[in-house]
Amino acid sequence: MILQSLSGVPAFLGYLLVAAALLAAYVVIYSAVTRHDEFTLIRGNVPGAAVALGLSAIGFALPLTSAIGHSANVIDCTIWGVIALIVQIAVYYLVRLTIPDLSERIQKGELAAAIWLGLISVTAGMLSAASMAL
């Protein structure tokens, strides 16, 4: 019985490693496209940078978890993960249309802009997750 339960461990590890790699790629790409350096700001105790980045990561993880749960295999999951990544990057640019000085405001420590960016990212992630009719 225990061996039967453990038979799913290789698939678990495969999906977990792909998800971790996609999340790491997302954070690197997201940090590269924003006009502010999230990690420098976070190290400098600017809460808005942590809020925006953290909620954005959640916004990416939501559709990623949907892809893991509904995909036929790891490759299918990876494709949908990349699609989710593209959606989240697009969300950042769309939010910048509503707040052109978004990065400057986050750098100044203004929370409203960071919270707006983060919550729109989570909302987009929820919609992306629900839209994944795999």
pLDDT, residue 8, reads 87
Residue 134: which pLDDT band, with cuts at 50, 70 and 90?
low
Overall average pLDDT of the 52-64 stretch? 98
What residue spans define the domains of the chain?
A: 10-131
Overall average pLDDT of the 102-127 stretch? 97
Could you tell me the two tokens for 44? Answer: 């400098």
Overall average pLDDT of the 40-63 stretch? 97
pLDDT, residue 11, reads 92
Q: Can you tell me the distance from the alpha carbon of 25 to that of 127, in angstroms, rounded to the nearest whole number? A: 21
pTM for the model stands at 0.92
pLDDT for residue 106 is more than 70: yes
Length of the chain: 134
